[in-house]
Structure 1
Amino acid sequence: QNLPTQLTSFIGRVGEQKTVQALIEKHRVVTLVGAGGCGKTRLAIQVGAAELENFPDGVRFVDLAPLSGTGLVVDAIATALGAKTEAGLSAINAVVRALEGTQTLIILDNCEHLLAECAEAVSALLRAGGDVRVLATSREPLGLAGEMMWRVPPLSLPDGERSPDEVVKCEAVQLFVDRATAARAEFSLTSSNTAAVVEICRILEGLPLAIELAAARAKTLTPQDIRSRLSDRFRLLTGGRGRHQTLRSTIDWSYDLLPENERALFRRLSVFAGGFDLQAMEAICGDSLDTIEHLVDRSLVIVEQLSDERLRYRLLETLRHYAAERVIEAGEEEDARERHFTYYLDVAERTYARRIEDEAASLALLDADHDDFRAALRWARARPRDLLRLASALGWFWHLRSYYREGRAWLEEALNVNANDRSPDMARALWALSMILSWSGDAGARQLADRSLELWQENSEPLELALALESIGYSQFMAGEYADALRSMEDCLKQYRKFGSTKLVTRGRVNVGQMLVALGDVERTEPLARETLAEGRAQNEPKSIHYSLHYLGDCALWRGEPQKAIGIYSESLRAALDYGNQMEASTEMQGTAMGLAGSGREEEALRLYGASCARNKELQTTAIDEIAFWVQLRERYLTPARERLGPAAAERAETEGRAMGWAQAVAHALQLAQETRGTGQWH
C-alpha cells in the first residue's frame, strides 16, 4: 500500500467509515462526493487503511490533483501500481495487466477536474480480471453506470445548549478541540468557552478544513475572539455555491490574519504542482524555515513524513487554487514562475549530469518532482529555448521510466519549435527521442540518432558522443544490421573506456554482447556475458544482470543445450520482472519455450509460446518479435516441436497459451523450469 502518512488524528466518522466499507463490499465503484474541504480525502485514506486486510494485493492511492491536461490519469495510476509501459505498451494495458487476477483497491483522489478521463480509466480498470474495486473522491459523480455515489456529510454538530461533556461527543467539536490543543497545549473545553466553540462549528457548517483553519488560531486567539471574527468577516461570497462560498470565506479570513511575510510565502507556494521540500521552497520563494513552520502551524500547509530523514510539504488543492488567485492579484506570478522554472531546470540538469554513476537515486529524485517538471514545461511553452533545455534534460528519464507517450510529445514539441538549433540541448533531445523511437520500433530512430551524433561532434562532448554511438547501434540492431551494430557498439565501448567509469564500461560490454549473440558468435559472447553478469551484480545494476543472463540463455540455445537454457532463462525472467521490463519478460518466456521444446516438452513449450505471443500483441512489440536471429532460434526449436505434435495438437496448445493470463503464464513458466530441474545447473 502507498497510503499517505497522516500526522494528525482522525476524528469521528465511525459510522461513515463503516458505511463506505460496506458499499465497497457491494459495489465495484464507490465515489465520495462533496464540496472542497469536507473531508473526502481523509475519509478515503482511513477507509483504505481499514480495508488492507480485505485486499491482499494492496490498496493504492492515486492523487490526481496535480494533473492538468489530458492523457495523464492512466499514467498516474500506472505509476502508483508500479506498472511499466515498455516498448510501445500503452499505459492502460500496463495497468490492466498489473491488476489481472488481483484483489486490489484503488483510491482515485480529486477527480473533479478530469471527470471524463477518470470515467474512461475506471471503466478500463473494471475490465481487468480479478476483484478490482475503485474508491474515488470528487466534487461531482463520475457518471459511470453502476457507480455508487455517496455524499460525504459534514461532521456532526451539537443541537441546542449542551455541557462541555455532552458537546465534545459531537465530531465537529472533537475536531476543533483536537486541533486547538495541537496549536496550544493548554487549550481545553470549558464552561466559559463551550458556547463559542459550538457557534464556530455551526458557522463553519461542520466542514473539517474550515474547522481546522479556525482551530489553528487558538494559538493566539480565544474561541470568543475567533467567533467574533467569523461574525465580522464570514459572509457568503459571489461566484460560488453552498459550501464553496463558506470555505472561501474561511480562507479569506485565515489569509487576512497572516503577517505579510507569511502571506507572501503562501501566495508563492501556489506555483508548486506537487509536494516540495525546504530546499525548493527557499530557492523559489526566498523564505525561511520559520515562516513555513508558521504556515504549517496555521494548517495552511501540510507536512508529510516520507521517511525518517525526509519531509515534504504541500498545499491542499483548494488552498493552492486560492493562493494562485492571490499571487496573480499581487502581480507576483511571473517572478514566482520564473524562479520555479529556474530551480527545476537546475535539478534536472544536475540529475542528468550524475545519471550514469547513480542512476537509481537520480530516477527517484525525478520521480518525486515529476508533477513540478510538468508544470515547468507547460510554463516554458512560451519560451521555446527554455522548453528545449528542460525537455532534453528529462529525456533519459522518460526513456528509462517508459513514459514513451509523454516523453515523445514533449521532445517533439521542443524540437519543432527549435528547428534550427544546433546546441548541446538539441543534440541531447535528439538522442532521447531516438532511444524512445528505437524501443517503440519506429524507423525514424536512426535519422534522429545520426543527427544527434553530428551535433555532438560539433559541440565536442566526448561522453555524449559515445552515447550517440550507442543510440545508433541500437537503431541498427532493431533494423537487423548486426555487423554494423557491433562496430558501433565496439566504437562506443572504446569511448566509454576513456572515462574511468566501471559502470560505463560494463554498460558498453553488455551492448557488445547483444550484438555478438545476435550474430551467433557464442565463443565470444559466453565469456563476455559471464563477466558482465559478475560486474552487474557487484555494481547492483539490474539491467546489466538481466541482459547478461539473457545472452547466456541465447548461447545455450545456439549450442544446442536446451535444458541448460531453461535454467538460465528462468533466472533471467525473474530478473526482468524485478527490473520491471515486461517486454523482456515476454522474451524470456519465449526462450524458456524454446528450451522446453528441445527437451521433449512440446505441448508446454507451445503453450508458453502462445502466451508470449499474446503478451507481445498487447505490448505492441512487433518489432521485437521480428528480430532476425530470434526468429532463427524459434525456427530451430519450435518448428520441429510443431511437426512432432502435428498441426491440430500444436494449434490447440498455442491457443491454450494465448488464453492464459500473463500472471498465470509467468507462474507456469517458472514451475516448468523447476520441474525440468534446469534452474541452477548452468552455473
Structure 2
Amino acid sequence: MTSTAATSRRRLPTGTVTFLFTDVEGSTRLVEAAGEQWPALLAEHDRLLREAITGSGGTVVKTEGDGFFAAFASAIDAVAAVVTAQRAIGDHDWPEGLAPKVRMGLHTGLGLLGGDDYIGLDVHRAARIMGAAHGGQVVLSASTAALVEHELPDGITLRDLGRHHLRDLSQAEGIFQLDIAGASTRFPALRSVEAPPSNLPEPVTHFVGRRRERARVRELLESSHVVTVTGTGGTGKTRLALQVGAEVGGRFRDGVFFVDLAPVDDPDVVPSQVLRALGEEALPGNRPPRDALLDRVSDLEVLLILDNFEQVIAAAPLVAALVSAAPRSRFLVTSRGPLRIAAEQEMPLEPMDLPDRHDRELATQADAVALFVDRALAVRPDFAVTPENADAVSELVRGLDGLPLAIELVASRVRLLPVPEILARLDPARPGTGTIDLPARQRTIEGAIAWSHDLLEPPVQVLFARLGVFAGGADLEQIERVCDDVDVDLLGGLAELVDQGLLRQEAASGGRARFRTLHVIREVALLKLEAGGTADAVHRRHLEAYVDWAEEVAAHVLGEDRSAWLDRFDADHDNVRTALDWAAVHGETDLALRLAAASWRFWQSRGHLYEGRSRLETVISLEGGEPLNRARALEALGGVYWWQGDIEKCVPPYREALAIQRESGDPAAIANAIYNSAIGQSVAAVTTGVTDEVRAEVYGLYDEGEAIYRELGDENGLGNITWGRGLAVSDLDDDLTQALELFHRSIDHYRSAGNEFGMGWGMFEVAIFSARLGDLETAWDYLEEGLELFAPHRDVSAVVLFLSLAAALAQAADDEERAARLAGAVHGLRNSSGAKIVDHEITRIRGLALEQLDPSRDDLEPIYRAGMAMDLSQAVAFALGRSVPTDGHDDGE
C-alpha cells in the first residue's frame, strides 16, 4: 500500500485504535469484465469508501489497488463508516454486472506508530480478519464487538461466528459478523485456517487425574501403530482415550476421530462406522465398505480412536489392514482384551490410585479421592473433605476398587446422604456381590450399578431395564413408544435415572431430547430385562416402534425438508439395525419387510447401498409375510439394484412386485409398481437389446399407469410416469426432442406435488438433453438449479451424477482443465460412495466430448488428481463456481 498525503504522524490516532481493512473480492475478474470501464468504476468505489471513512471521523492510512487501510479513534465510528460504505455501494448505480463486492474487517487494538505508519501485531490481525471475509461481508474482532455491541444503530446487529484460526496468527480469533438491515447477511464459511479436524465428543464432565497413564499412552503412540487400552468395564478406558486424543490430536495432519462401536455387534459394520466417523458424506454403495475405507485412509495421517472393540473383536484383522494402508496414522483402541495383532501394543488400565491408609494428607491427593470429590461437588457444591469424613471417603473409594464408573455412580448419593452413611450402605457395591463368574472388579462395577438401580422405585427399575433395548440412544418419542405402559411418569423417571448416573442426556438436532446409556450400563440393563422375563416382548415393541417411525420418515425424505428427515434417520440407524437383526432371528417377517422397505431411501441417499442390499436380500429370503409387505420390500430391493448400476437385476423384483400389487387391487400401489417395472425394463433394454415386444410392453405400462394417476389426480405419480416416459422415448426411440419436452413436463408435475427429489431429477435430464441438442446455456442453468436442490441434503448419489454432467459440459465448452478437475471429483466420489448408476447414466452424455478428455496427459493429470481429493462440499462449490483451486491451477474462476 502507498501512504496518502493526508496521513502525517500527528493526525493518526494513537492509543486504542480501531483498524479497518477493505478489499474488492474477485477484482481480477472484475477488471477483465469491466475493460475500459474499470478506471471510472474504481474511482467511484474509492470515492464512496473515502467519503464513508472521513465522514465518520476516520483517517485513510493507505490505499493499494482497490484496498483501503483506515484508522478510527472510536470503534462505533468505524462501524458507522462500514455501514455507510456498504449501503452506498449497494445503492450505487453500477454498470450492469459490474457492481464491486467489498469485504471489510475491523479490529481494535494498540495504535503504535513507526514513522508515518502503524506497526505491531494488531495491524496484521486486522488485515487477517478482513482476509477471512467474503464480498459484501463485514467482520469484526471480539475486541471491537465488545466495544460496540451496546451502541449499535437501529437495523444493525452482531452475529457470533465463533473462533477461527487465521493465517500467520498462533491463537484462534473470536469473529463476529455485522448484519446490516437491507443487505445480504448470508455468506459462505469464513476463509480461516482450520485446526486439524476432529469429531471428539464434548465431555460431560472434566477429566480428573491419570497423569501417569496419559503420559504412557502418548509415549506408546510415538512408537506403536496400535495402542490398545485394556481393562474391565468402568475403568475409564474411553475417557482416557478421549483425553489423550484431545492432547495429541494436533500432531496429526488430518485430525483425530472417535469411532463409537458401543451400538455395534456386527464386525462387518465396523468399516462403515469408521467411514462415518471420518466425515464421509457417503458410505460405500455396492463396493465393500472395507475396501472403500482402506482407500480412504491410504493418504491420511490421523489418530483413530476405536472404542469398545471387545464386542467386534472379529474385526481385528481390519485394524491390521488399516495399519498397512495408512502407515502414518495411529490407532488407539479401547477393549476389554487385546486384539492380538502384530502392530499392537497393549496397555492394561488399572483402577485409579487409592488413598494411603496411613497418611490422611496424602490420601486426599489420590486420584480416586480427587474424582469422588469432583463428582460430589457437581451434585452438592458445598461438599468438601473434612477431618470428620476424610476416613470415610478414603474407605469408600477403596471399597469401590478405585474404579471410576463405580466412584461416579456412588458420588451421586452425596446429594442425599453424608459419606459415612453411604459407606455404611456400601455392601451391595463390594467385590464379590455381583455375578460369581465375573472378575472381582467387574463384580464391583455391577454392584455399583446394582446399588444405584436398587435405590430406584420398582417402576423406574422397569424403565431402566427397558432402555437397554435402544442402541446408540433414543429420543423421547421412541422411549415413549417402548415404555408407555410402565407405571411411571416418564419424564420424572428419566430425570431420576440421569440423577443416578445411569442415563445421559445428549444434544440432538431439531431440538429433540435424546438419551443414552454407557455401554457397560446398557449391558446391565439388558441383563435385568432378560431376568425379568419380558425381553422378547420389549424387543418386539422396539421393533414395532421403529417400523412405524421409519415409515413416517420415509414419507418425508423426498420433500423439501428431506435433509432434516435423513438426519433423524441417521441418528437412529443403529436402532434400525438392532431391530432388523432381532426381527430376522425371531421370524418377524412382516415387520422386517416393512422396516427394510421404509429404510431404503435413507440407505440410497446417504450411501449405505451395500448394507441396504444385504439387509433387503435377507428379509426377502425370510419365510412367510404378507404379500403387500413383500412387494414393498421387492420394490426397495429393485431400487437398490438400480442405484448400484445393476440395472438388469432390478427387473425381476420389480416384475414380482407388480404381480403382487395387481392382486391387491390398490390403484395407487399398482401404478407405482407399473412405473418401477416400466423404467427397469426400458433402461435394461439399452444393454439387452430393444425389440418391438419390449417397446410395446413398456409404452403399454406407461399408458396404464398414466390413466390411473390421472383418475387419482396424483401429480407426483404423473411426474414419475412422465419422467420415465422421457427415458423410454430416448432409450427405445432415440427421440431427443420429445424426451426433452417430457422432462420439462415432469418438473411441472413434481413442482405441483412439492417433490424436490423429483424436480431435481427432471432438471438433471433437461440439462443432459438440452446439451445433447446443442443448448449448453440452458444445460448449465438446469444443472446448477438441480445441483443446488440436492447438495444441501448431502445426496451423494445425485451429486455424483450432476458433477459428471458438469465435467461433460466443461469439456464441450473446451475448458479441459475444469473438465479434468470435475472428472477427478466424480471418480473419487463414485468410488467412495458406490453410486455406480453414474456408469449407466454417463452414457446419456454421449456426444458432449467427455470421452475425448485424457486425464493422464502431463498437463491435466495433477488437476485430475486434485479433483479426486475433493470432498463432496468442495466439489459442489467448484462446480457452482464458488471456489478457487489452491493448487496453482486457476481453472474456472
Greater mean alpha carbon deviation, residues 96-105 or residues 107-116: 96-105
- The answer as to 2:535 corresponding to 1:333 is yes
Q: How many Å apart are 1:208 and its aligned residue?
A: 0.7
Q: How many Å apart are 1:516 and its aligned residue?
A: 5.9
Q: Secondary structure at the match of 2:228?
A: strand
Partner of 2:314: 116
Partner of 2:582: 379
Q: How many Å apart are 1:426 and its aligned residue?
A: 1.6
| Preserved CA contact (<8 Å) 1:36 1:244 | yes
- The answer as to 2:636 corresponding to 1:432 is yes
- Structure 1 residue aligned with 2:662, among 450, 454, 457? 457
Q: Quick check: which has more Rg, 1 or 2?
A: 2
Greater mean alpha carbon deviation, residues 424-433 or residues 483-492: 483-492
| Preserved CA contact (<8 Å) 1:516 1:524 | yes
| Preserved CA contact (<8 Å) 2:605 2:796 | no
**Structure with greater strand percent:** 2
Q: How many Å apart are 1:276 and its aligned residue?
A: 2.0
| Preserved CA contact (<8 Å) 1:608 1:665 | no
Q: Secondary structure at the match of 1:150?
A: strand
- Structure 1 residue aligned with 2:352, among 146, 155, 159? 155
Partner of 2:453: 255
Partner of 1:68: 265
- The answer as to 2:616 corresponding to 1:405 is no
Q: Secondary structure at the match of 1:92?
A: helix
Greater mean alpha carbon deviation, residues 590-599 or residues 104-113: 590-599
d(CA) in 2 for partners of 1:378 and 1:255? 28
Counterparts in 2 of 1:211-610, with a 5 A limit? 211-231=407-427, 234-236=430-432, 238-285=436-483, 286=486, 287-288=488-489, 289-306=491-508, 309-357=511-559, 359-381=562-584, 382-383=586-587, 384-418=589-623, 421=625, 423-440=627-644, 441=646, 443-481=648-686, 511=724, 521-524=735-738, 543-544=757-758, 547-548=761-762, 550-560=764-774, 580=794, 587-588=801-802, 590-592=804-806, 594-595=808-809, 597-600=811-814
The residue identity in structure 1 corresponding to 2:421 is: D
Distance 1:356 1:672, change over 3 A: closer
d(CA) in 2 for partners of 1:465 and 1:432? 15
Size of the aligned set, in residue pairs, is 669
The residue identity in structure 2 corresponding to 1:283 is: R
- The answer as to 2:384 corresponding to 1:188 is yes
TM-superposition CA deviations, 1:377-420 (whole Å, max 9, x none) = 2332323343334333334433443433333333333333345x
| Preserved CA contact (<8 Å) 1:473 1:489 | yes
Q: Secondary structure at the match of 2:306?
A: strand
TM-superposition CA deviations, 1:139-165 (whole Å, max 9, x none) = 12223332343333432332244457x
Distance 1:594 1:414, change over 3 A: closer
Q: Secondary structure at the match of 2:276?
A: helix
The residue identity in structure 2 corresponding to 1:195 is: D
| Preserved CA contact (<8 Å) 1:564 1:678 | no
The residue identity in structure 2 corresponding to 1:387 is: A
The residue identity in structure 2 corresponding to 1:302 is: R
TM-superposition CA deviations, 1:95-142 (whole Å, max 9, x none) = 34554645544322110111221x233344445569544332111222
The residue identity in structure 1 corresponding to 2:205 is: T
- The answer as to 2:841 corresponding to 1:637 is no
Partner of 1:79: 276
In the superposition, the TM-score normalised over structure 1's length comes to: 0.82
- The answer as to 2:233 corresponding to 1:36 is yes
| Preserved CA contact (<8 Å) 1:411 1:433 | yes
Distance 1:363 1:626, change over 3 A: closer
Q: Secondary structure at the match of 2:331?
A: strand
Distance 1:571 1:51, change over 3 A: farther
User: Relative contact order (alpha carbons < 8 A, sep ≥ 6): 1 or 2 greater?
Assistant: 1
Partner of 2:868: 662
- Structure 1 residue aligned with 2:839, among 625, 628, 631? 625
TM-superposition CA deviations, 1:420-451 (whole Å, max 9, x none) = x5532122111111111222305331121122
| Preserved CA contact (<8 Å) 1:399 1:432 | no
Percentage identity across aligned positions? Answer: 30
Greater mean alpha carbon deviation, residues 300-309 or residues 203-212: 300-309
Greater mean alpha carbon deviation, residues 222-231 or residues 515-524: 515-524
Distance 1:446 1:324, change over 3 A: same
d(CA) in 1 for partners of 2:249 and 2:741? 48
Partner of 2:69: none
d(CA) in 2 for partners of 1:670 and 1:566? 15
Q: How many Å apart are 1:494 and its aligned residue?
A: 6.5
Q: Secondary structure at the match of 1:72?
A: helix
| Preserved CA contact (<8 Å) 2:825 2:869 | no
TM-superposition CA deviations, 1:626-658 (whole Å, max 9, x none) = 56xx4475477256x48xx9xxx9788898899
Distance 1:274 1:461, change over 3 A: farther
Partner of 2:20: none
| Preserved CA contact (<8 Å) 1:173 1:198 | yes
d(CA) in 2 for partners of 1:527 and 1:499? 23
d(CA) in 1 for partners of 2:266 and 2:745? 47
Is there any run of 5+ residues in structure 1 with no aligned partner, and where? Answer: none
d(CA) in 2 for partners of 1:679 and 1:527? 31
Q: Secondary structure at the match of 2:417?
A: coil
In the superposition, the TM-score normalised over structure 2's length comes to: 0.65
d(CA) in 2 for partners of 1:277 and 1:617? 34
Partner of 1:139: 336
Q: Secondary structure at the match of 2:262?
A: coil
Q: Secondary structure at the match of 2:574?
A: helix
Root-mean-square deviation (CA), in Å? 4.3
d(CA) in 2 for partners of 1:372 and 1:587? 31
The residue identity in structure 2 corresponding to 1:252 is: A
Greater mean alpha carbon deviation, residues 17-26 or residues 141-150: 17-26
The residue identity in structure 2 corresponding to 1:380 is: A
Q: How many Å apart are 1:200 and its aligned residue?
A: 1.2
